[in-house]
Chain A
Amino acid sequence: MSLSQNVILLNPTNQLTGLYTTIRDKSTSRADFIFYSDRIIRLLVEKGLDLLPVEPHSVTTPTGQAFTGVRFQGHICGVSIMRAGESMEQGLRDCCRSVRIGKILIQRDEETAMPKLFYDKLPEDIADRYVFLLDPMLATGGSALMAVEVLKSRGVPEERIIFLNIVSTPEGIQKFTDKFPRVRIVSGCIDEGLDESNFVRPGLGDFGDRYYCI
């Protein structure tokens, strides 16, 4: 599968493979699951932040010398898709001080079996911000696509949305790039695909359950 240039993957180092091995293992304890997931989330956030624009900036160092570097441009905010996406908030906060974070709750409608928006709370000036959309799993893409719709309806242009996820599927990515080609997806790993019950193969189970409950 050839990837759109708007799909960015983490470098597949041994360390990363090892982190994934732990969180995929069903015998991993919740404490370890959280520790290792948090590591991957941190790497995703750093990778995502690298997509933000900067401008040249000169400073004077403590030894009185001039140093020309860069300065971060533009405001950002995070939007987590409840509940699993909330697990990624701390990773974002660890890299962006006092970042504003919005929430979106999307659930499957029992009658139509389609995703339905139940709740959202977003920063008022979200249209002026870069948005980090947080959801650890991009499986069918149903809820994430709906979340992007919500963001677009609040005036956020597609090219200012960066979707961070830990595991994605070729199907989910395909739907995204077809529908929102300018949204950038930062993913830690693209899995084999979906099975007949729409579970990710090999996947890691229900992320929210493993991070918060089991």
Chain B
Amino acid sequence: MEYVPPWKEPYFIAIAGCSGSGKTSVSSWIIQKLNVPWTIILSMDNFYRELTNEQRALAFESNWDFDSPDAIDFDLAIEVLQSIKKGKKTDVPNYSFTEHKRTDRTTIIYGANIVILEGIYALYDKRVLDLVDLKIFVQEDYDVCMARRLHRDILHRGRELRLSIKQWERFVKPNFIRNIQPTEKEADIIVPNGVENKIALNLLLTHIRLRLKTKSAQHLAELAKLGRNCDQDVRDLVRLPQYSTQLNGIHTILLDAKTSRADFIFYFNRMADILVSLALETVFESSVESKTVTTPTKRQFKGLYLPFDKVCAVTMIRGGECFESALKASIPTLSLGRLLIQRNTKTGEPELHISRLPPIITEGCSELKVLLTDAQILSGAAAVMAVQILVDHGVQQQNIVFIVYSSSEIGIRRLHAAFPEISVVVGRVSPSILSSDYDRCYYGT
């Protein structure tokens, strides 16, 4: 059963209009009012074609037509937009107006729920239109557009008045009339007076919020369905440490409401060490190479090489961070990433706030093993989302080991239903919730 994260099929909004019509202001207003972290504005400017040296010379003299549809690499734009639509981690090119070329840097987009594509040609290409959920055209008088454009060119881009006017008359206006204005008919809604038109914008906002709410409800419903049909014994789906009296004693201390914080931290660290060690055992069951070494007394020893350089860890803020000291003590030169996934208190939906993955993951090493940690799994929603993030970044499912101290049965089932190939190392699985405060006890807040 496939898990569909909220960033798959993000809500796409395209905003087109004349240069200086207020597209950017409208986009910023919407983003600001929505006030959720997973919205992004993507400018069509990123997709300007690379110029030849002669063309670049013309551009510096303001003699290059940036307002023609030919100036834009629509194929590249489609490729990028389709990747974002699939929910994949996507590199967006950057274009430098001061140098008139693409920069070496790209912007990485990942986890966006709402994408606003803005640009004069946002509604021009049929393939873009097919990806877009809401099409907006911002309408403004030519003289207002021109005044804004001159203002921006002269004050913020250091251009000369004469050149700016020349550019407007020669390229901007003719292209608008010929190529951009006709795209108005593709729009779902035409907004006159741009950001001043609060009634139109509020209508838009209501519509977008409604769509997001529906999307969130779908996400939650999908999550709730995950793992419901699984009746396997959860103990067969996970790896538990071998029973020992010490382990039982540590569980007892960690579950006792009267345990002091000093004791709690100490014993949690001990438990974390045991679980990390078990996770590494799992990792090294397959990915080891034989290695023969010479001892200081010049004897040969046929052993194994542990590829620790292909192991990294990602901790879930903040429960998973309780494992960090154990991870650092067990993996030499550990590279460590973090994820913050929080439950929306109103809807109950897990939401991705921060994703800082170690470079070794983003570099795309196919054998890389990733230990993902959290203190506990309750519904499993955040755990499923975290694994999805790793998978979206190219980590193979079978190379992920989820380490968790305590889990509910349904949480394990959900994780297994969505990602049957990952390994789960868990300290304790219980049908009922005996404590939900592990990270609070650990951090004291």
**Stretch of B121-129, B156-164, B302-310 on the interface side:** B302-310
Q: Which residues of A contact B277 (CB under 8 A)?
A: 15, 39, 42-43
B residues apposed to A, CB below 8 Å: 244-246, 248-249, 251-252, 255-258, 263, 266, 269-270, 273-274, 277, 280-281, 284-285, 288, 291, 293-297, 299-301, 303-306, 329-330, 332, 432-437, 441
Given contacts A14-B281, A18-B303, contact A65 B434 (CB under 8 A): yes
**C-alpha gap A49/B245 in the complex (Å):** 9
A26 lies within 8 A of chain B by Cβ: yes
B281 touches A61 (CB 8 A): no
Residues of chain B within 8 A of A21, CB atoms compared: 291, 293, 301, 303-306
Given contacts A15-B306, A18-B303, contact A63 B435 (CB under 8 A): yes
Q: Which residue from chain A places its CB closest to the CB of B259 in the assembled complex?
A: A59
A74, CB-defined interface residue at 8 Å:
no
Shortest CB distance B313–A (Å): 16
Q: In the assembled complex, which residues on chain B have CB atoms less than 8 Å from the CB atom of A17?
A: 303-304
One of A109-117, A176-184, A203-211 contacting the partner:
A203-211
Write out the residue numbers on chain B whose beta carbons fall within 8 Å of the beta carbon of A203. 295-297, 299
| Nearest residue, chain A, Cβ from B303 | A21
Q: Which residue of the partner chain, among B248, B291, B297, B433, contacts A202 with CB atoms under 8 Å?
A: B297
Bound state CA distance, A52 and B270, in angstroms? Answer: 16
Contacting residues, chain B, for A152 (C-beta < 8 A): none
How far, in angstroms, from A204 to B435 measured CA to CA in the complex? 46
Given the complex of chains A and B, what is the CA–CA distance between A72 and B284 in angstroms? Answer: 32
Q: Are B249 and A71 in contact (CB under 8 A)?
A: yes
Contacts of B248 in A (CB 8 A): 54, 69-70
Contact B285 A14 (CB under 8 A): yes
Residues A69 and B255 in contact, CB atoms below 8 Å apart: yes
Chain A residues whose C-beta falls within 8 Å of the C-beta of B246 in the assembled complex = 46, 49-50, 52, 72
Query: Is A57 at the interface (CB under 8 A from chain B)?
Result: yes
Q: Check if B434 sits within 8 Å of A67, measured CB to CB.
A: yes
Would you give the shortest CB distance from B304 to chain A, in whole angstroms?
4
Given contacts A61-B256, A67-B255, contact A25 B245 (CB under 8 A): no
Give the complex CA separation of A122 and B339 in angstroms: 48
> How many angstroms from the CA of A25 to the CA of B291 in the assembled complex?
10
Number of A interface residues at 8 Å Cβ cutoff, please give it: 52
In the complex, the answer to whether B294 meets A25 with C-beta atoms within 8 Å is yes
**Which residues of B have CB within 8 Å of A54?**
245, 248-249
With A26-B294, A202-B300 known as contacts, the answer to whether A57 contacts B244 (CB < 8 A) is no
Kindly state the separation between the CA atoms of A46 and B242 in the bound complex, as whole angstroms.
12
Task: Check B434–A72 contact: CB distance below 8 A.
Answer: no
Task: Indicate which residue in B266, B330, B433 contacts A63 across the interface (CB closer than 8 Å).
Answer: B433
Interface residues of A in 54-99 (CB under 8 A from B): 54, 57, 59-65, 67, 69-72, 94-95, 97
| A24, CB-defined interface residue at 8 Å | yes
Q: Does A175 contact B (CB under 8 A)?
A: no
Residue of A nearest to B288 (CB): A14
Q: Which residues of B contact A26 (CB under 8 A)?
A: 293-296
Work out how many contacts link A and B, with CB atoms closer than 8 A: 144
Docked pose: A49 CA to B246 CA in angstroms: 7
Interface of A, secondary structure class, is mixed
Roughly how many angstroms separate A14 CA and B293 CA in the complex, as a whole number? 16
Residues of B with C-beta under 8 A to A57: 252
Known A60-B257, A199-B297: A69·B435 in contact at CB below 8 Å: no
* Alpha-carbon distance between A17 and B305 when the two chains are bound, in angstroms: 9
Which residues of B sit under 8 angstroms from A59, Cβ to Cβ?
Answer: 252, 255-258
What's the Cα separation between A164 and B300 when bound, in Å? 25
Chain B positions within 8 Å of A61 at CB level:
255-257, 434-435
* Interchain nearest-CB distance for A29 vs B (Å): 11
Q: How far is the CA of A202 from the CA of B251 in the complex (A)?
A: 39
Which of B257, B258, B269, B285 is most buried by chain A, counting CB atoms within 10 A of its CB? B257
Query: B297–A95 contact, CB under 8 A?
Result: no
Assuming A18-B305, A24-B293, A203-B295, what are 11 further A-B pairs, CB within 8 angstroms? A13-B284, A14-B304, A18-B306, A24-B295, A25-B301, A46-B246, A62-B434, A63-B436, A94-B270, A94-B273, A202-B301
Contact B296 A70 (CB under 8 A): no
Q: How far is the CA of A208 from the CA of B2 in the complex (A)?
A: 55
A149 at the interface (CB under 8 A from B): no
Knowing A15-B281, A62-B435 touch, does A69 contact B257 (C-beta < 8 A)?
Answer: no
Whole-angstrom CA separation of A205 from B436 in the bound complex: 48
Q: Let me know if A108 is at the binding interface, CB within 8 A.
A: no
- Give complex CA distance A12, B219 in Å: 45
B140 smallest CB distance to A (angstroms): 60
Contact partner, A42, options B258, B273, B281, B293, Cβ 8 Å: B273
**Complex contact A46–B274 (CB within 8 A):** yes
Q: Do residues A71 and B252 form an inter-chain contact, with CB atoms below 8 A?
A: yes
Contact A206 B281 (CB under 8 A): no
A38 contacts chain B at the CB level, 8 A cutoff:
yes
Q: Given contacts A54-B249, A67-B434, is CB(A25)–CB(B295) below 8 Å? A: yes
**Does the CB pair B297–A205 fall under 8 Å?**
yes
- Per the bound structure, the CA–CA distance linking A202 and B437 in Å amounts to 49
- Within the complex, the shortest CB–CB distance from A48 to chain B, in Å, comes to 10
Q: Taking the nearest CB of chain B, how far is it from the CB of A68, in angstroms? A: 8
Give Cα A50 to B248, complex, Å. Answer: 10
Cα A106 to Cα B54 in complex, Å, equals 85
> Does A159 touch B at the CB level, under 8 Å?
no
| A19 close to chain B: CB less than 8 A | yes
B295 touches A205 (CB 8 A): yes
Q: Which residue from B245, B281, B301, B436 sits with its C-beta under 8 Å from A62? A: B436
Contact A70 B299 (CB under 8 A): no
